[in-house]
Chain A
Amino acid sequence: MIVYTLVDGSIDFFGNPAVDLVDFFTGTMWRPNGAEPSFGLLALLSGTILIAGGTLLVAGPLGIGAAIYLSEFAGPRFRSIAKPVIELLAGIPSIVYGFFALLVISPIFQEYLGASYFNAASAIVVMSVMVLPIIISVSDDAMKAIPRSLREASLSMGATKWETATKVVMPAASSGIMASVLLGLARAIGETMIVVLAAGSVAGFSFNIFGETQTMTSYIAQVATGDIPPGVAVSAAFAVGLVLFAITYIINSLASKVVDRIRRGSAPKSAGGKIEKVLRKLAARFSFRSRPRDSESLLRRRQLIGKIGSQSMALCIFLAGAFLIILLASVLVQGIGVIDLTFLTEFPSSSPDRAGIYPVVIGSLSLMGLTMLFAIPVGVGAAAYLNEFARDTRFTRLLRRIIQNLAGVPSIVFGLVGLYIFSRMFGFGASLLSGALTLAIMSLPVIVVTTEEALRAVPMTFREAAKGLGATKWQTVRHHVLPNAVPGIMTGTILSLSRAIGETAPILFIAAVFEKTAPSGIMDGFMALPVTIFYWTRHPNGEFHDLAAGTILVLLAILLSMNALAIYIRHRAQKRRDW
């Protein structure tokens, strides 16, 4: 369906006489409107590369460092604090990061580094924090999967912990670490809201990090917000979306292959063994010959290196934690003042002191309810089919692969799909229904994966016991497997819905800037919290920024209570579980 949308939409674009296919891939000018439009993708691509590459340079080392500390040095108490912090970072909607980038980080860069109001640098910094959780958790998993026996072997030969971590664990986990960075990269390429808010909308073939720039995603968003007049420039969004989809798809499937292999537990082969060998030869040639050979000073030096190393890794985690605190604090300080009864019960208005978000909250909540209605039956059904009924055939493997890769599709691409299929083709227009269907597709992969996990956790013996009594497969699943998996399914579903409700990009095409009433039917237009935050953050009048911050607080409060609910359900189920 995604592919159909993108290809079909793109045909429209490439069929246009103003468009030259060669120029699309090789041109460096991206000027979609005006008398002589020109579509040189390289202009957008350079912006994407600049921002995603910059993000990788910042987040890669930080994330791997933090993961090393977590998996090799941190005690259980530290882990129990650090893990929720990382999960929290992962749970913050990207619109909040965007707000933070434009209104907190950018002014600092403007003041001290001479950056322009919109600049790539602040997008890079904030995006780095956003992709950190992915890099940390996947790298941490990869290193944790390295058998304890390897660490013991190294330690028992008198290696320090640091030497064990860098010379044994990291090389053995190198493929997983690589995958984590790839996943982070795909995420950075597909991220929309931070870039569109912080980096501006001037496409140019330049790599100036303090200047304005436009990426593929932010162009699509620009189309979505109606800044671009209809016509060929709009259909260009589909072509850009197609390229974006292709790039992220390739990166994600590379990464997920590696992650799969690690999960299945086949010995991860040390990638880059040859490179390592060459590097070592080079290092041997240039290395300091007069290393202290006397054992005492050598030992002291090795211990020192280990100490410095592990502490700088710890610093990576503290940086992430500090960032989280600053982010929450700045939003709180800016937003707490506007929250009062008027704010929660009134309608948005052009005068900031009378504006409220009542219909916006209603819009978001009904959007969530409707999304749930579509996503849960389909998601749980698909998972039950895959896990309980289907055999491991080429078809199911393909299905799984598709679901897995769906999870990595940039959310703005879902926006295009929603616009094309639900709004236009099915004629649902800019309605709640279109929005909910779009979000439902987007949350499907997570629901399927978490449900499958919950089903798998139900012991095989239950199924065998039921079948031994002559129950059919359906009865077994219906009476024994599903009921026991309900808490797990609910936890996963709530988490995926809380993700969906915080998403801006997919409904950017569909949600309204302003509606006079709260939605009363599924075909009504609607406003949604993240989209309203987006428009208020971009508002030239600074008082609206406070309103945006206040709205963020409301959104975070909703997300937090949903997460708390999920944790409560998990906790209660674990306590009650007697198997």
Chain B
Amino acid sequence: MLNIFKVLGNQGKPAESVMTGQPKGDAMSIEGLNISYGSNHAVKGVKMSIPLKSVTAFIGPSGCGKSTLLRALNRMNDEIEGCKTEGTVTWKGVNILDPKVDPVALRSKVGMVFQKPNPFPKSIFDNIAYGPRIHGITERSELEKIVEKSLRNAALWDEVKDRLDESAMGLSGGQQQRLCIARALAIDPEVILMDEPCSALDPIATSKIEDLIEELKKKYTVVIVTHNMQQAARVSDYTGFMYLGELIEFGETEQIFQKPNERLTENYITGRFG
């Protein structure tokens, strides 16, 4: 097993201390990435770099491979029967797609938020504390600190601080999604992947999550997949447009939306298809 922790830096210390002083650069670079499920070639030869501590969005019509690409970044595709991945994703000098890299260790540094809020059927407290617990923290006082901090960072603390022992299933959809974000923050990741985090939410809850993403990029590298172009335009610094498994164009969000280089991108953004 490749020792990913040595490469990834000191686990246990907060992410910012690892990052301080580093100039903004690339967090992850993807090269020659091909992913297929059986005969379905979902991602075709993608090459790009994800910039550090900023929000990178992937847009494109349904089935264009954007979620599959996202799930490659923390090896969640490993859990899908018959999914084959080729190419490299380099993070801190290590190819994280290498079978020798332990996905369990990787995922504790690359967190994920899913399309539909998926809280565990446990209390709010236990939901957040689950990650720290499996990573070896047992002291109640320390757990309480982490829970409060994570909930504050996810802008949920004030709404739930009096009912931490109640079931997370009783929260509203938007609250559940922020809970899931807090849960991902509690393991102290460096990168957060979000797979259409607002698609199951109403506009008010969506705007809360978007504000949150704005906050998160101060500390974390955020990668978000969305089918909502306005959302990509609002929250992201960089945008990639995917179509039929290929990355058609990637660049700063402003450029992609205002003067795209590719015809396809322009057609999609102006609503001519999609």
Residues of A in contact with B (beta carbons under 8 Å apart):
75-76, 147, 149-160, 163, 167-168, 171-172, 267-270, 284, 287, 289, 291-293, 295-296, 298-299, 302-303
Name which of B81, B120, B122 has the most chain A CB atoms within 10 A of its CB. B120
Partner of B108, one of A76, A150, A152, A157: A157
Pairs A–B under 8 Å by Cβ, sample size 5: A149-B114, A153-B114, A158-B109, A158-B187, A270-B121
Name which of B11, B12, B135 has the most chain A CB atoms within 10 A of its CB. B135
Q: A152-B76, A270-B122, A299-B105 are in contact. Are A158 and B114 (CB under 8 A)?
A: no
Whether the pair A155, B76 counts as a contact (CB closer than 8 A) is yes
Whether the pair B134, A158 counts as a contact (CB closer than 8 A) is yes
Name which of A154, A158, A268 has the most chain B CB atoms within 10 A of its CB. A158
Cα separation A298 to B105 with both chains bound (whole Å): 11
Q: A76-B81, A156-B184, A157-B111 are in contact. Are A302 and B121 (CB under 8 A)?
A: no
Which B residues, 125 to 144, have Cβ-Cβ distances below 8 Å to chain A? Answer: 130-131, 134-136, 138, 140
Contacts of A159 in B (CB 8 A): 104, 130-131, 134
Contacts of B131 in A (CB 8 A): 157-159
Whether the pair B136, A298 counts as a contact (CB closer than 8 A) is yes
B162 contacts partner chain A, Cβ-Cβ < 8 Å: no
Q: A158-B105, A284-B140, A296-B5 are in contact. Are A152 and B134 (CB under 8 A)?
A: no
B208 contacts partner chain A, Cβ-Cβ < 8 Å: no
Q: Which residue of A lies closest to B119 (CB)?
A: A153
B267 contacts partner chain A, Cβ-Cβ < 8 Å: no
Interface SS of chain A? helix
Sample of 4 more A-B contacts, CB < 8 Å, known A168-B130, A267-B169, A295-B135: A159-B134, A269-B121, A284-B140, A302-B104
Partner of A167, one of B1, B5, B134: B134
Cα separation A153 to B114 with both chains bound (whole Å): 8
Cα separation A268 to B130 with both chains bound (whole Å): 19
Q: A150-B120, A303-B104 are in contact. Are A157 and B134 (CB under 8 A)?
A: yes
Cα separation A160 to B11 with both chains bound (whole Å): 17
Cα separation A151 to B79 with both chains bound (whole Å): 10
Q: Which residue of A lies closest to B3 (CB)?
A: A296
Cα separation A287 to B138 with both chains bound (whole Å): 9
Cα separation A521 to B108 with both chains bound (whole Å): 74
Cα separation A167 to B122 with both chains bound (whole Å): 11
Ranked nearest first, the 5 interchain pairs of A and B with the lowest CB-CB distance are A158-B108, A156-B112, A149-B118, A158-B107, A157-B131
Q: In the complex, how many angstroms separate the beta carbon of A256 from the nearest chain B beta carbon?
A: 22
Q: In the complex, how many angstroms separate the beta carbon of A69 from the nearest chain B beta carbon?
A: 16
Whether the pair A160, B104 counts as a contact (CB closer than 8 A) is yes
Name which of A75, A270, A291 has the most chain B CB atoms within 10 A of its CB. A270
Name which of A76, A149, A268 has the most chain B CB atoms within 10 A of its CB. A149
Q: In the complex, how many angstroms separate the beta carbon of B165 from the nearest chain A beta carbon?
A: 9
Cα separation A163 to B81 with both chains bound (whole Å): 20
Whether the pair A158, B104 counts as a contact (CB closer than 8 A) is yes
Contacts of A295 in B (CB 8 A): 5, 11-12, 135-136
Whether the pair B118, A150 counts as a contact (CB closer than 8 A) is yes
Contacts of A171 in B (CB 8 A): 121-122
Whether the pair A172, B187 counts as a contact (CB closer than 8 A) is no
B54 contacts partner chain A, Cβ-Cβ < 8 Å: no
Which B residues, 152 to 211, have Cβ-Cβ distances below 8 Å to chain A? Answer: 169, 180, 183-184, 187, 193
Whether the pair B107, A156 counts as a contact (CB closer than 8 A) is yes
Q: A147-B118, A302-B104 are in contact. Are A154 and B76 (CB under 8 A)?
A: no
B236 contacts partner chain A, Cβ-Cβ < 8 Å: no
Contacts of B3 in A (CB 8 A): 296
Q: In the complex, how many angstroms separate the beta carbon of A292 from the nearest chain B beta carbon?
A: 7
B86 contacts partner chain A, Cβ-Cβ < 8 Å: no
Contacts of A163 in B (CB 8 A): 134
Q: In the complex, how many angstroms separate the beta carbon of A157 from the nearest chain B beta carbon?
A: 4
Q: In the complex, how many angstroms separate the beta carbon of A98 from the nearest chain B beta carbon?
A: 41
Partner of A293, one of B136, B140, B169: B136
B226 contacts partner chain A, Cβ-Cβ < 8 Å: no
Contacts of A160 in B (CB 8 A): 104, 134
Contact with A along B69-107 (1 / 0, CB 8 A): 000001010010100000000000000000000101111
Q: In the complex, how many angstroms separate the beta carbon of A289 from the nearest chain B beta carbon?
A: 8
Contacts of B81 in A (CB 8 A): 75-76
B116 contacts partner chain A, Cβ-Cβ < 8 Å: yes
Q: Which residue of B lies closest to A306 (CB)?
A: B104
Q: Which residue of B lies closest to A281 (CB)?
A: B140
Whether the pair A157, B11 counts as a contact (CB closer than 8 A) is no
Partner of A157, one of B79, B121, B183: B183
Cα separation A456 to B76 with both chains bound (whole Å): 36
Contacts of A76 in B (CB 8 A): 81
Cα separation A270 to B127 with both chains bound (whole Å): 13
Contacts of B183 in A (CB 8 A): 153, 157
Whether the pair A149, B130 counts as a contact (CB closer than 8 A) is no
Whether the pair A152, B79 counts as a contact (CB closer than 8 A) is yes
Whether the pair B76, A157 counts as a contact (CB closer than 8 A) is no
Q: In the complex, how many angstroms separate the beta carbon of A371 from the nearest chain B beta carbon?
A: 43
Q: A155-B79, A156-B111, A158-B107 are in contact. Are A292 and B118 (CB under 8 A)?
A: no
Q: Which residue of A lies closest to B165 (CB)?
A: A277
Cα separation A302 to B111 with both chains bound (whole Å): 19
Contacts of B120 in A (CB 8 A): 150, 153-154, 168, 172
Contacts of A156 in B (CB 8 A): 74, 76, 107, 111-112, 114, 184, 193
Q: In the complex, how many angstroms separate the beta carbon of B214 from the nearest chain A beta carbon?
A: 22
Whether the pair A149, B116 counts as a contact (CB closer than 8 A) is yes
Contacts of B184 in A (CB 8 A): 156-157
Contacts of B6 in A (CB 8 A): 296
Cα separation A183 to B183 with both chains bound (whole Å): 37
Whether the pair B121, A267 counts as a contact (CB closer than 8 A) is yes
Q: Which residue of B lies closest to A169 (CB)?
A: B120
Q: Which residue of A lies closest to B79 (CB)?
A: A155
Q: In the complex, how many angstroms separate the beta carbon of B200 from the nearest chain A beta carbon?
A: 11
Whether the pair A152, B118 counts as a contact (CB closer than 8 A) is yes
Q: In the complex, how many angstroms separate the beta carbon of B77 from the nearest chain A beta carbon?
A: 11
Contacts of A155 in B (CB 8 A): 76, 79, 107
Cα separation A169 to B105 with both chains bound (whole Å): 21
Cα separation A154 to B180 with both chains bound (whole Å): 11
Contacts of B74 in A (CB 8 A): 156
Contacts of A158 in B (CB 8 A): 104-109, 131, 134-135, 187
Contacts of B116 in A (CB 8 A): 149
Q: Which residue of B lies closest to A159 (CB)?
A: B134
Contacts of B105 in A (CB 8 A): 158, 299
Whether the pair B118, A153 counts as a contact (CB closer than 8 A) is yes
Contacts of B187 in A (CB 8 A): 157-158
Cα separation A422 to B223 with both chains bound (whole Å): 73
Contacts of A298 in B (CB 8 A): 135-136
